[in-house]
Amino acid sequence: MDSSKYIDVFIEETRDQLQTVNSVLLSLEESGFNEEQMNEAFRVVHTVKGSAGVIGVSHICELAHIMEDLFDILRKRKEVPEKSMIQLLFTGVDKIEKMLTQLEKDGTTHLDVTELIAKMKQARDSTSAAAKPTADKAKEINTIQILPVQRTQVEEAVAQGKRPVQVKITFSPELRFREGRAYQAVRNLSNVGMVAASQPSVTDMPDDTPFFLNLLLTDKSDEMIIQSVNGVTGVALVEVAPWTMNVAAPATTEAKCEVKEEASGAEDKSSSGLSTASTIRVRSKLLDQLLDLVGEIVINNIRVNQIAIDLKHRELKQTLQNNTRLMGEMQDVVLRTRMVQVDFIFKRFPRIVRDLAQANNKEIEFLMRGTDIEIDRSLLDEIGDALVHLLRNAVDHGIEEKQDRIAKGKKPQGTIILSAFQEQGNVVITVEDDGKGMDIKKITAKAVSKGLISADEAERMDDRSKMQFIFLPGFSTADKISDLSGRGVGMDVVKTKIEGLGGTVRLDSTYGKGSKITLKLPPSMSIIRAMLVEVNSEKYAIPLENVRETVRVPMEAVHTIADNGVFKLRNEVLPILNIHNEFGGSSEVVREMPAIIVEKNENRACLLVSRLIGQQEIVVKNLGKDLRQTGYFSGATILGDGKVAMILDVGAFI
């Protein structure tokens, strides 16, 4: 079997399954034994083992196999194991993750896990475990049974000229990882008929199962059936016998569920069975391409609409209005297909915080809220590193050591809360801790010592402005550099990354009580609503999330303070941003000018423009390196007349 085409799916699914194992181990360590969770971890590792066996990744298969043994022991003991056992399983998860990374990069794994497997075998052998299911249970199965609802399926197949036969597949005694071989056998059987049921279930088959039975509906000969399975490695004997109707009595709900699960498991492997899956996996690159195409269609539609307006063709305008509505719905569907829950990336953070806390000898309770909030997949991939930086800072700089917290009257265990919620169409993610908070005096002293500001300037600055020094490259108040932080790159990386995505970063902190970092992100990076304006006969776009309101500014109401123009709007004094000269024109002397009150990072200003055009949905296009370096523009878009309009980054002007 050519398994190379299944590698990507295997890697993605296994990574998801390892996150489940991580969650179970964390819960086991923090909350004690939970039978349902332990059973789930056992099933997940069992699946990883079977999938690795089918793909042919022997190192992962062998490690997962011994981990499965350990989980089987733990779930039968029904008690919290020693810390050394939990750490051993954590190490196993880490090793598999590293092997997946190697597999993804090189197409093979070369990590030596011999020593780890030996340690796990020693732990397994030294731990008394409850008796595992034996092969006797398999021997009790003589004739395969079906559900009453499957009876019609069998009868219809017989009416179409097919015959029901029972195929008994016996494994070689020395064969390991039998689930993978059973899957291959059922897949081969599907080429000569339809597998209606398998017992025991192919998806949950112990390694000591001597044989399993399959109900095959076929019109092929016994010789062809036997030949289809004989080539599978580890199959010692294939026997075909007539099958008589044997319907399971629905005596209990448990019996129904068990047989149904087995039957559906077999049907999933059948090439001719009907699929009931409600979801499919799609490569993210294909979704990116689809969104790009939708963006091009939107741009083209805007141009056609402009032509219809110029022609003043009534019927064409009405048709295009309907076309615009349909494209809006299509765009919405495409955008929603790219949305994933933040839990997709959040679920790896509990393990990270746990390891960081142990490395720092700190006790930390880590809470996650709003994990079901959805965000564009491309945004979520980008913010992962930024969130890791914030969590590292919270553990290393934020949460105090146990004795220090007790001395301050706090509980010994610190708390870090990672939250996600929606606010006015944006996704907001916060990282909050109840640690020591930001020392404004220490930050100011560091800024003065580095020559960033003078002592006199520091006196005139408010606390919020002083805290912004934290985001400068190389700025750190740490007394010592650790493996986790202290080099002054973390917060700079966070700010650069988030603002590069069109988002904002806010820092709130109270000395002695804790800190809170708030990341506000746009719902999508590709298609946004913007205000179109004209400056010096050129059109520009301003994202609506940065637009507070539009006004007309009388020139006599503009005053000069320290060579800077200001305008008083109601009770707020706003700086005037006159970008006409900046963009190669000259500001004409007029009685009043249209303006936009723009806002970013809680800073507001009055941006003077030549003309307000109106709101429009635009498709964001990335800029080249030279244009990005100007700092004035965050992107570009194509307007209805085919011309390019730059998207202003108002944060560069405020």
Predicted confidence (pLDDT) per residue in 382-400, tens digit: 888 889 999 998 998 899 9
Q: How far is residue 35's CA from residue 50's CA, in Å, rounded to a whole number?
A: 23
Catalytic residue (choose from 59, 62, 65, 68): 68
Domain that holds residue 378: 341-521
Provide mean pLDDT across the span 157-178: 85
Given pLDDT bands bounded at 50, 70 and 90, which one contains residue 9? confident
Tell me, yes or no, whether 62 lies in a domain: yes
- Same domain for 511 and 493: yes
Q: Note the pLDDT tens digit of each residue in 537-547.
A: 889 999 888 89
Catalytic residue (choose from 393, 397, 400, 599): 393
The answer for residues whose C-beta is within 8 angstroms of residue 611's C-beta and 6 or more apart is 533, 534, 594
- Asked if pLDDT for residue 298 goes beyond 60, the answer is yes
Where residue 143 sits, what CATH number does that domain have? 3.30.70.1110
Question: Identity (one letter) of the amino acid at 67?
Answer: M
- Same domain for 17 and 50: yes
What pLDDT, on a 0 to 100 scale, did the predictor assign at position 588? 62
Q: Is 534 a catalytic residue?
A: no
- Asked if pLDDT for residue 135 goes beyond 60, the answer is no
Given pLDDT bands bounded at 50, 70 and 90, which one contains residue 282? confident
- Asked if pLDDT for residue 246 goes beyond 80, the answer is no
- Asked if pLDDT for residue 54 goes beyond 90, the answer is no
Q: Which of 336, 339, 364 is nearest to 350 (CA)?
A: 364
What pLDDT, on a 0 to 100 scale, did the predictor assign at position 552? 92
Which range is least confidently modeled, 46-50, 52-56, 205-209, 484-488? Answer: 484-488
What would the two tokens of residue 77 be?
Answer: 């003991």
State the alpha helices, DSSP H only, in 468-572. 490-500
Where residue 592 sits, what CATH number does that domain have? 2.40.50.180
The answer for residues whose C-beta is within 8 angstroms of residue 369's C-beta and 6 or more apart is 417, 418, 419, 420, 421
- Same domain for 159 and 64: no
- Asked if pLDDT for residue 272 goes beyond 50, the answer is no
What would the two tokens of residue 502 be?
Answer: 């069109």
Distances (CA, A) of 254 to 46, 143, 261, 268: 22, 20, 11, 21
What pLDDT, on a 0 to 100 scale, did the predictor assign at position 644? 86
Contacts 24+ apart (CB under 8 A), 483-490: 483/359, 484/356, 484/359, 484/360, 484/392, 484/395, 484/396, 485/392, 485/393, 485/396, 485/397, 486/396, 490/389, 490/390, 490/392, 490/393
Given pLDDT bands bounded at 50, 70 and 90, which one contains residue 415? very high
Provide mean pLDDT across the span 344-355: 89
Given pLDDT bands bounded at 50, 70 and 90, which one contains residue 91? very high
Mean pLDDT of the chain: 81
Tell me, yes or no, whether 630 lies in a domain: yes
Q: Which of 262, 227, 238, 225 is nearest to 172 (CA)?
A: 238
What pLDDT, on a 0 to 100 scale, did the predictor assign at position 247? 63
> What stretches of 338-425 adopt beta strand conformation (E)?
339-341, 364-369, 374-376, 414-423
- Same domain for 191 and 154: yes
pTM for this structure? 0.63
Q: How far is residue 637's CA from residue 222's CA, in Å, rounded to a whole number?
A: 66
Give percent of the chain with pLDDT exceeding 70: 85
CB count within 10 Å of CB 527 equals: 19
- Same domain for 315 and 367: no
- Same domain for 407 and 294: no
- Asked if pLDDT for residue 432 goes beyond 90, the answer is yes
Tell me, yes or no, whether 36 lies in a domain: yes
Distances (CA, A) of 559 to 216, 448, 575, 578: 88, 32, 10, 13
Q: Do 648 and 632 touch, CB atoms closer than 8 A?
A: yes
- Same domain for 197 and 64: no
Q: Which of 395, 352, 378 is nearest to 523 (CA)?
A: 378
- Same domain for 350 and 487: yes
Q: Which of these three, 293, 322, 338, is where a domain ends?
A: 338
Q: Is 46 a catalytic residue?
A: yes
What pLDDT, on a 0 to 100 scale, did the predictor assign at position 480? 55
Question: Identity (one letter) of the amino acid at 331?
Answer: Q
Given pLDDT bands bounded at 50, 70 and 90, which one contains residue 524? low
- Same domain for 388 and 497: yes
Q: How far is residue 218's CA from residue 272's CA, in Å, rounded to a whole number?
A: 11
Tell me, yes or no, whether 130 lies in a domain: no
Q: Which of 317, 255, 472, 484 is nearest to 389 (CA)?
A: 484
Q: Which of these three, 97, 125, 153, is where a domain ends?
A: 125
Which range is least confidently modeled, 39-53, 405-419, 475-489, 630-644? Answer: 475-489
- Asked if pLDDT for residue 111 goes beyond 80, the answer is yes
Provide mean pLDDT across the span 76-89: 86
Q: How far is residue 435's CA from residue 411's CA, in Å, rounded to a whole number?
A: 11
Q: Do 565 and 653 touch, CB atoms closer than 8 A?
A: no
Given pLDDT bands bounded at 50, 70 and 90, which one contains residue 477? low
Q: Which of 174, 210, 226, 205 is nearest to 269 (CA)?
A: 205
- Same domain for 486 and 363: yes
Tell me, yes or no, whether 255 lies in a domain: yes
Q: Is 617 a catalytic residue?
A: no
What pLDDT, on a 0 to 100 scale, did the predictor assign at position 364? 92
- Asked if pLDDT for residue 110 goes beyond 50, the answer is yes
What pLDDT, on a 0 to 100 scale, did the predictor assign at position 290? 84
CB count within 10 Å of CB 463 equals: 12
DSSP state of 79: S
Number of domains comprising the chain: 5
Burial status of residue 41 (CB atoms within 10 A of its CB: 0-12, 13-18, 19 or more): buried
Distances (CA, A) of 76 to 39, 69, 262, 488, 592: 9, 11, 24, 49, 81
In the sheet that holds 592-600, the strands lie side by side as: 547-554, 592-600, 603-608, 572-578, 564-569, 558-561
- Same domain for 367 and 313: no
What pLDDT, on a 0 to 100 scale, did the predictor assign at position 516? 93
Tell me, yes or no, whether 172 lies in a domain: yes
Provide mean pLDDT across the span 100-116: 87
DSSP state of 621: B
Where residue 422 sits, what CATH number does that domain have? 3.30.565.10
Report CA 439 to chain centroid distance, whole Å: 34
Sign of the four-CA dihedral 406, 410, 413, 416:
negative
Report CA 213 to chain centroid distance, whole Å: 40
Q: Which of these three, 464, 487, 521, is where a domain ends?
A: 521
Catalytic residue (choose from 46, 59, 389, 397): 46
- Asked if pLDDT for residue 275 goes beyond 90, the answer is no
Sign of the four-CA dihedral 193, 199, 200, 204:
positive
What would the two tokens of residue 461 be?
Answer: 């600055």
DSSP state of 544: G
Tell me, yes or no, whether 278 lies in a domain: no
What pLDDT, on a 0 to 100 scale, did the predictor assign at position 132? 45
Tell me, yes or no, whether 274 lies in a domain: no
- Same domain for 390 and 253: no
- Asked if pLDDT for residue 1 goes beyond 50, the answer is no
Which range is least confidently modeled, 32-41, 229-238, 351-360, 580-589? Answer: 580-589
Q: How far is residue 577's CA from residue 561's CA, in Å, rounded to a whole number?
A: 13
- Asked if pLDDT for residue 4 goes beyond 80, the answer is no
Give percent of the chain with pLDDT exceeding 90: 14
